[in-house]
């Protein structure tokens, strides 16, 4: 395939060549002090399309990008933010189960689950530019500058600097000395990586240098019982508004996006 821009070439070449360097400081960490835990306050909420089996969530250039999963139903939806009027929807190959997404250098990156590929789209038209092999399953994705971060459901986070050679590095995530598994949707927030922990109401705040969990956010009770239907699924989806720096969260088949602030719990 021909690469329209250097980023796509780096994505394709870099992630096909899988490097497994591991952070020595994180690997050797045996014990960690008790970490702070946080509750939340709902500041506001916005109506959200229940059709979204939300996997990835990102606010970019005044738009909310959502990757919705499931085989035969996977879709990218784009909403004017915060008006939440749907602007565009692009179906994904029905053989692919879409997972997390993020935006790097005006390119939308969407991970897949068992297919182990990463799809790259141009913005704002969402034309498919190509795809790259992943070293394993794709779950959540985020970025910091030119560095792509993603998860695979294990206790590892993976990163690759796309402005360099794209070599992939692996970082173990540790909670109080033990591995924290089921890392799912990711978001870069003020120098930390926030990760939904699948099948829980928790978000882990992770130091991207050491891999230590430096805080846990308990979002139990966020979605009221009266808003739950038979197909309502787990908490999943974190997005920071780059303009206001507000934090928005949601879940799979949820009818709301919630803007939250954190409240630290007493020790």
Give the pTM.
0.87
Q: What is the pLDDT of residues 100-159, one digit of tens each?
A: 999 998 899 999 999 999 999 999 999 999 998 998 999 999 999 999 999 999 999 999
Answer yes or no: is pLDDT of 26 > 90: no
Q: What is the pLDDT of residue 163?
A: 78
Q: Starting at the edge strand that comes first in sequence, how are the strands of the sheet with 168-172 ordered?
A: 21-22, 168-172, 156-161, 147-151, 141-144
CATH code for the structural domain at 6-264 = 2.40.128.630
- 84 in Cβ contact with 64 (< 8 Å): yes
**CA distance linking residue 60 with residue 80, whole number of Å:** 10
Q: Any residues with CB less than 8 A from the CB of 237 and at least 6 apart, and which? A: 54, 55, 56, 57, 66, 185, 196, 248, 249, 250, 251
At CA 154, angle to CA 148 and CA 156, rounded to 5?
45
- 205 in Cβ contact with 192 (< 8 Å): yes
């Amino acid at each position: 395939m021909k690469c329209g821009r250097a980023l796509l070439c780096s994505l394709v070449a870099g992630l096909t060549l899988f490097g497994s360097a591991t952070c020595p400081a994180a690997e050797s960490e045996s014990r960690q002090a008790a970490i702070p835990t946080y509750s939340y306050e709902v500041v506001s909420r916005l109506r959200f399309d229940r059709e979204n089996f939300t996997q990835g969530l990102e606010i970019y250039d005044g738009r909310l990008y959502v990757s919705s999963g499931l085989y035969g139903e996977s879709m990218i939806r784009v909403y004017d933010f915060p008006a939440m009027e749907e602007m565009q929807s692009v179906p994904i190959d029905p053989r692919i189960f879409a997972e997390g997404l993020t935006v790097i250098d005006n390119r939308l990156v969407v991970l897949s689950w068992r297919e182990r590929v990463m799809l790259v789209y141009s913005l704002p038209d969402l034309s498919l530019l190509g795809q790259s092999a992943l070293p394993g399953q794709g779950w959540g994705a985020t970025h910091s500058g030119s560095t792509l971060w993603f998860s695979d459901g294990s206790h590892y986070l993976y990163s690759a600097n796309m402005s360099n050679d794209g070599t992939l590095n692996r970082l173990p995530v540790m909670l109080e000395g033990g591995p924290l598994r089921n890392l799912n949707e990711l978001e870069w927030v003020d120098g930390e990586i926030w990760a939904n922990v699948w099948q829980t109401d928790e978000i882990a705040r992770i130091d991207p240098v050491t891999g230590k969990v430096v805080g846990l956010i308990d979002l139990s009770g966020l979605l009221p019982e009266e808003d739950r239907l038979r197909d309502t699924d787990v908490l999943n989806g974190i997005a920071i508004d780059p303009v206001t720096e507000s934090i928005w969260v949601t879940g799979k088949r949820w009818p709301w996006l919630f803007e939250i602030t954190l409240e630290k719990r007493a020790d």
